[in-house]
Chain A
Amino acid sequence: MNLLQDALLWLNDPFNWTRPDGVLDLLRQHLRISALAVLAALVVGLPIGALLGHLGRGGGFTVALSNVSRAVPTLALLTIFAVTPIGFGPTATTIALAVFAVPPVLTNAYVGFRGVDRDVVEAARAMGMTGRQLLLRAELPLATPLVMTGIRTAAVQVVATATLAALVAGGGLGRIITLGFRQQDYGAVLAGALLVAALALLTEGVLAAASWALTPGAKRLPRRSSMAAAVPVPVPD
């Protein structure tokens, strides 16, 4: 209980928020790195996943990709990118996080496009839609719930793992935790953990709302539980 008080005290101190490398600085770094990484993953993963799903090819590849990516520790990739000539810093962190965000985006896009009812595709073809129209106007709306699940999974995972950058001298909110451990200041550790967890949950909530708003047709929140049963989606860490 004392500890929680320490954490709240830490969080209640405006200096901890506004000083250089305080919460606000770190939050800004955290969000910038995360946004860039997710954006990069979308640019790479969405078209490839959509195209493979549209063509109905490469199922084995996507499954293998998501399986292998689960086996590679994020910390390992963060560290390895940091010791390449890129050097440690925001760039290496962003690249490592983007690499991890591609599999969920790609796999879900693939499954979403692949899972579109064949009858719908036939009907669209019969109506004279070209390949591009079919992809964008028939398949995309139907695949949206899963595509959004992929984006949400990737984004939450990126926001969560961006904290690990602090273990290899990177920025972000994880700093508060690592610094707290180094200084044996468990109040700060707990405060950092609360901030990081809150940010991850907030990301999840905002993107769940976004996916609800973007999904055409009957409004229904895509539930991970029903997805987990039906689809080989990778789980974030």
Chain B
Amino acid sequence: MLSASSGAVVAAEAAPNPWFDWSYVTDNSGTILDHLAEHVRLTVAAVVLGVVIALPLAVLARRGRWLAGPVLGLSTVVYTIPSLAMFAFVAPYTGLSETTVLVGLVLYSLVILVRNFLAGLQAVPADVKEAARGMGYGGVRLFWQVEVPLALPSFMAGLRIATVSTVALVTVGVIVGHGGLGQLITGGFNANFYRAEIVTGAVGCVLLALLADLLLAGAERALTPWSRRVRS
């Protein structure tokens, strides 16, 4: 171990090891794009599944305090579990596969989303609901046409946080060999501390997160035209 690391240091000093190398990106564009595709695939799947599970959970939890307590308590526990441990919990059952990473990511995004969905729904003013009911809105229409639009800013805030943290968390999937751009980060580390590869992976992650956040911010603006003037 010791001799290996000291050998690596000598090699790193002898050979040029730039922080970024455009030729690395062009020469390995195929690999990078594959990892990027996996990263995007995992993120989108995790957030979409998270939404699909979180929405009914939030609606259920709103029904009564006795459900909201356990749901929020459990979500705190889930969120406190470190990501590496989470993947380690799942891996023995699903193996070294993308599914392992996906299950862990869904759990995390789910937790963020339930909290924000619930907060959004609980913040809908009671008199607005009453007025809607007075106008003859039934349960389903009240939910989709009155409560969801009013809770949308909170929903979208949760969605943005969940997406951005998921993009960052995908990298931990390297433990089972499916870490998207994280593969470049540890790949470069294991390939004699090849900085260009590490930085490409890291910068790629950050850019991907910012791009996703920007897209969702745009979607939020488009979906809530009434809040634009207040925001700016």
> A residues bordering B, Cβ < 8 Å?
3, 67, 70-77, 79-80, 82-83, 87, 156, 159-161, 163-164, 166-169, 174, 177-178, 180-181, 186, 189-190, 192-194, 196-197, 200-201, 204, 223-225, 228-229, 235-237
Q: Which A residues are in CB contact (< 8 Å) with B161?
A: 70, 235
How many residues from B make CB contacts under 8 Å with A?
A: 54
Kindly identify which residue among A72, A83, A193 contacts B85, using a CB–CB cutoff of 8 Å: A193
Residue interface bits B62-96, CB-to-A below 8 A is 1, else 0? 00000000001000110111111110110110000
Chain A residues contacting B193 (CB-CB under 8 Å) are: 82-83
Across the interface, which residues of A come within 8 angstroms of B9, CB to CB? 87
Tell me which residues across on chain A come within 8 A of B198, comparing CB atoms: 76, 79-80, 83
Question: Which of A76, A80, A228, A237 lies in contact with B108, CB distance below 8 A?
Answer: A237
Question: In the complex, are the beta carbons of B182 and A73 less than 8 A apart?
Answer: yes
Q: Within the complex, what minimum Cβ distance (angstroms) separates B21 from chain A?
A: 14
Please determine whether B92 and A190 come into contact, CB atoms closer than 8 angstroms.
yes
A161, B82: Cβ atoms under 8 Å? yes
> Are B119 and A166 in touch, CB under 8 angstroms?
no
Main secondary structure of the interface of B (DSSP, over half): helix
Q: Is the CB of B108 within 8 A of A164?
A: no
**Which A residues are CB-close (under 8 A) to B213?**
67, 71
Chain B CB within 10 A, most for which of A80, A159, A166, A178:
A80
Contact between A73 and B82, CB atoms less than 8 A apart = no
B176 near A181 (CB under 8 angstroms)? Answer: yes
Contact of B168 among A3, A73, A79 (CB under 8 A): A73
A75, B164: Cβ atoms closer than 8 Å: no
B210 at the interface (CB under 8 A from A): yes
Contact of B80 among A3, A160, A225 (CB under 8 A): A160
Partner of A73, one of B112, B202, B210: B202
- With CB as the reference atom, state the residue of chain B lying closest to A4: B92
Whether A71 and B85, one on each chain, are in contact in the complex, defined by CB atoms closer than 8 angstroms, is: no
Q: Judge if B199 is at the interface, Cβ distance under 8 Å.
A: yes
